[in-house]
Amino acid sequence: MGERKPRDIPKRVDHIVITCMDFRYLETIDQLLKDKHGINMLRTDFLSIGGASKGVVDGSLMPSIKIGYEKHGVKNVYIFDHIDCGGFGGQEAYDNDEQKEADDHFESQDRAQEAVHKIMPELEVVCYVIGLDGEPVER
Ligand SMILES: [Zn+2]
């Protein structure tokens, strides 16, 4: 695989993965994508920004999502928010109440999904909020 050059790899890909910049969660997200969706994170269009779903809601990531959709054939968008996210003010902003913080993320993800569907209704949007224990938080 290391021998493969970018020119040898087709640019069409089914998925965009959007994560927060927070490195603590990347291994967990990589494992979850493999286990639950059979996706190798190194074979996705990958976007990373502080606050993850916030970058979709405020429009920052939308041009990149459109490129994935229009030029690379992307069909699914995975959005990974997480607990104790600096982009949401950290745990302190929620008195260390994980469910309270998660609810804010779910609301942000709903808005992100709406924003994506407004422009690209065919895209499937799958959202997770990852807790400090590495497990997805239940809605
Ligand atoms: Zn974060």
Residues for the chain: how many in total? 139
pLDDT in tens, 63-111: 999 999 999 999 999 999 999 999 999 999 999 999 999 999 999 999 9
Using an 8 Å Cβ cutoff, are 18 and 56 in contact? yes
Residue 7 Cα to ligand 1 middle (Å): 33
| Band of residue 4 on the pLDDT scale cut at 50, 70, 90 | confident
| Band of residue 22 on the pLDDT scale cut at 50, 70, 90 | very high
Which helix (H) or strand (E) segment holds residue 34: the answer is helix 26-37
Measured CA to CA, the distance from residue 28 to residue 20 in angstroms comes to 12
pLDDT in tens, 27-53: 999 999 999 999 999 999 999 999 999
| Band of residue 1 on the pLDDT scale cut at 50, 70, 90 | low
pLDDT in tens, 102-136: 999 999 999 999 999 999 999 999 999 999 999 99
Which of 126, 113, 133, 11 is CA-nearest to residue 80?
126
Residue 4 Cα to ligand 1 middle (Å): 32
* Neighbour tally for 136: CB within 10 Å: 17
Return the DSSP state at 15.
E
With left for phi above 0 and alpha for psi between -120 and 50, is residue 96 left, alpha or beta?
Answer: left
Q: What are the domain boundaries of the chain? A: 17-130
Residue 70 Cα to ligand 1 middle (Å): 28
Residue 54 Cα to ligand 1 middle (Å): 10
